């Protein structure tokens, strides 16, 4: 079971969290101004990488706050968790 470092609460068991999928997807500021394709990309399309993945988590059975994380989808290693609005940490050079 993963051990996840909630940026507000600290390390907690995975069972306290829910995963919200890919992070850093921005809702178009003026939805009417974007094409159907761009809107379709926003609502339907997500990456599914084997490797490092920026993703959203929510401390559902804790502080109930959202945060972002950088996790490796094979090793399940987290290299960073950070609050919404904080900049993306850089991708680690090594794999896993």
Partner 1 sequence: MTQSHRRPAGGRINRSAPIVFTFNGKSYGGFEGDTLASALFANGVKVVGRSFKYHRPRGILSAGAEEPNALVQLEFGPHTEPNMRATTTELYDGLNANSQNCWPSVDFDLGAWTGMLGRLFPAGFYYKTFMWPPKLWMFYERIIRNAAGMGKIPEVHDPDRYEQQHAHCDVLVVGGGPAGIAAALAAGRSGARVIFADEQAEWGGALLSGAPDIDGQPALDWVAGAMAELTAMAEVTVIGRTTVTGYFDYNYLTALQRVTDHLGPNQGGHRPRQRFWKIRARQVVLATGSIERPLVFVNNDRPGVMLAGAVRAYINRYGVLPGRDIVVFTNNDSAYRTAMDAFGAGARVYVCDARKNPSGPLVVAAKELGITIYPNTVVTGTKGKKAVTGVIVRELTDDGRGVGPKAWSIDCDCVAVSGGWNPTVHLHSQSRGKMRFDDTLAAFVPASGVAINPNRSVGACNGTMYATDCLDEGARAGAEAAAVAGFGDGKAPSMPQSAGLAEEPLLPLWTVPSATTVSRAGKAFHELQNDSTVADIHLAAREGYESVEHLKRYTTTGMGTDQGKTSNVNALAVMADLRGVSIPQVGTTTFRPPYTPLTFGAIGGRNVKEFFAQERGTPMHPWHVDNGVVFEDVGDWKRPFYYPRPGEDMHAAVMRECVAVRTSVGLLDASTLGKIDIQGPDAAEFLDRIYTNAWNKLGHGKARYGLMLNEQGFIFDDGVTTRLSDNHFHMTTTTGGAARVINWLEEWLQTEWPDLKVYCTSVTDQWAVASVSGPRSRELMAELTDIDLDPQTFTHMTMREGKVAGVDARLYRISFTGELGFEINVPASYGLHLWETIMRLGAKYDICPYGTEAMHVLRAEKGYVIVGQDTDGTVTPMDAGMDWIVSKKKGDFIGCRSFARSDTARGGRKQLVGLLCDDPSFVIPEGAHLVDAIKPKPPMKTIGHVTSSYMSPNLKRSIALGLVEDGFARMGESLSIALHGGGSCRAIVTDPVFLDKKGERLHG
CA distance 33 to 92: 36
54 close to 22: Cβ distance less than 8 angstroms: yes
Q: Which of residues 2-61 bind partner 1 (CB under 8 A)?
A: 2-3, 13, 20, 27-28, 30-32, 34, 36, 39-40, 42-43, 56, 58, 60
Residue 65 as a binder of partner 1 (CB under 8 A): the answer is yes
Q: How far apart are CA 72 and CA 54, in angstroms?
A: 9
Partnered with residue 54 across adjacent β-strands are: 70
Residues that bind partner 1 (CB under 8 A): 1-3, 13, 20, 27-28, 30-32, 34, 36, 39-40, 42-43, 56, 58, 60, 64-66, 75-77, 84-85, 96
């Amino acid at each position: 079971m993963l051990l996840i470092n909630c940026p507000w609460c600290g390390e907690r068991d995975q069972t306290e969290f829910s995963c919200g999928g890919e992070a850093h997807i921005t809702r178009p500021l003026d939805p009417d101004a974007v094409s159907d394709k761009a809107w379709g990309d926003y609502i339907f399309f997500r990456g599914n990488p084997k490797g490092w993945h920026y993703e959203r988590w929510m401390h559902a059975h804790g502080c109930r706050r959202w945060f972002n994380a950088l996790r490796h989808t094979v090793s399940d290693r987290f290299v960073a968790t950070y609050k919404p609005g904080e900049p993306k940490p850089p991708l680690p050079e090594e794999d896993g």
